[in-house]
């Protein structure tokens, strides 16, 4: 058996960081809802962390979209996003790729798309609970629609996450552990296959991209030096 580096370190860090952000954002908004009337400003306290996790998730997703173009072999969208023919072959047992399989790829795209939609729409949320719970673009012409989207897509996100976790459990029952490779980066294979670049140079490149994403999100969120606030309508 050959040990093959499938998931580079930037992809692994993205994955687990996004898990933390999603769980954190979900728990914080629920805590805010429950504790809103208990102690003064307690709901605001939890909402401030919900906003923080949202900004972090937006940064991570932006990074992943870029890394999907220039990252390691198995992290690139061109490697795992396949057409119906590959899905059919996979279901027939004729196609066994390392990394994301064709069905898993659909799940990845759906999760990235919905989490991205949640993060972006959160920038437009206008809430009467407290100023801190309002996005930097609240009050713009798109605010009402995107606020509604942000609040109404939660059940679909929960469903997708449950399907994702269920798939991991099913594969584990089939003696295929998908969690360990996302921790170590390596998979065992009885065939020779492409290896993801995961050198120090690659990781530094990823760090530069990530820092650029942080700067961009910092800017569009309106948290800028000088106390000025962005307006989405200014970009249009």
Instruction: Report the CATH number at residue 117.
Output: 1.20.950.20
Domains: count for the chain: 1
- Determine the pLDDT at residue 228: 41
The arithmetic mean of pLDDT across residues 59-75, rounded, is 97
- Model confidence at 46, in pLDDT bands (50, 70, 90)? confident
Question: Residue-wise over 30-68: b if at least 16 C-beta within 10 A, else e?
Answer: ebbeeebeeeeeebbbbbebbbebbbbbbbbbbbbeebb
Q: For residues 164 and 111, is the Cβ–Cβ distance under 8 A?
A: yes
Could you give the CA distance from residue 160 to residue 151 in angstroms, rounded to a whole number?
Answer: 16
Kindly report, residue by residue over 132-164, the tens digit of the pLDDT: 455 666 666 677 888 888 888 999 999 999 999
* Signed CA dihedral, 159, 161, 167, 172: sign only: negative
Q: For residues 1 and 188, is the Cβ–Cβ distance under 8 A?
A: yes
- Determine the pLDDT at residue 140: 62
Mean pLDDT of the chain: 86
- 174: its two tokens: 């089939």
Could you give the CA distance from residue 35 to residue 76 in angstroms, rounded to a whole number?
Answer: 42
The arithmetic mean of pLDDT across residues 220-233, rounded, is 49
- Determine the pLDDT at residue 189: 85
Q: Which residue is listed with tokens 């790829």?
A: 105
- Model confidence at 7, in pLDDT bands (50, 70, 90)? very high
Domain of residue 66 covers 2-235
- Determine the pLDDT at residue 227: 40
The answer to whether residue 72 scores a pLDDT higher than 80 is yes
- Determine the pLDDT at residue 109: 95
Residue that wins the pLDDT comparison between 150 and 183: 183
Q: For residues 57 and 26, is the Cβ–Cβ distance under 8 A?
A: no
The answer to whether residue 230 scores a pLDDT higher than 50 is no
What single DSSP character describes residue 138? T
- Model confidence at 127, in pLDDT bands (50, 70, 90)? low
- Determine the pLDDT at residue 130: 46
Which of 64, 9, 4, 65 is CA-nearest to residue 198? 9
Query: Which percentage of the chain shows pLDDT scores above 90?
Result: 56
Q: Which residue is listed with tokens 């809802």?
A: 33
Could you give the CA distance from residue 104 to residue 90 in angstroms, rounded to a whole number?
Answer: 11
- Determine the pLDDT at residue 225: 35
The answer to whether residue 126 scores a pLDDT higher than 90 is no
């Amino acid at each position: 058996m050959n040990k093959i580096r499938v998931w580079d370190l930037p992809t692994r860090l993205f994955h687990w960081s996004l898990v933390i952000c999603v769980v954190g954002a979900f728990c914080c908004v629920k805590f805010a809802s429950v504790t809103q009337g208990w102690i003064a400003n307690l709901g605001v306290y939890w909402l401030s962390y919900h906003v923080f996790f949202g900004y972090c998730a937006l940064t991570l997703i932006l990074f992943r979209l870029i890394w999907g173009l220039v990252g390691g072999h198995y992290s690139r969208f061109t490697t795992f996003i396949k057409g119906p023919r590959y899905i059919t072959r996979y279901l027939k047992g004729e196609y066994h790729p390392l990394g994301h399989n064709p069905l898993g790829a659909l799940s990845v795209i759906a999760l990235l798309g919905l989490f991205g939609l949640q993060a972006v729409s959160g920038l437009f949320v206008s809430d009467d609970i407290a100023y801190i719970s309002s996005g930097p673009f609240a009050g713009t012409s798109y605010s009402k629609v995107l606020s509604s989207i942000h609040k109404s897509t939660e059940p679909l996100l929960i469903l997708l996450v449950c399907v994702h976790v269920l798939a991991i459990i099913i594969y584990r029952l089939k003696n295929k552990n998908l969690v360990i490779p996302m921790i170590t980066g390596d998979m065992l294979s009885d065939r020779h296959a492409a290896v993801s670049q995961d050198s120090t140079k690659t990781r530094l490149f990823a760090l530069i991209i990530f820092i650029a994403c942080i700067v961009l999100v910092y800017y569009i969120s309106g948290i800028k030096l000088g106390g000025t606030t962005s307006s989405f309508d200014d970009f249009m």
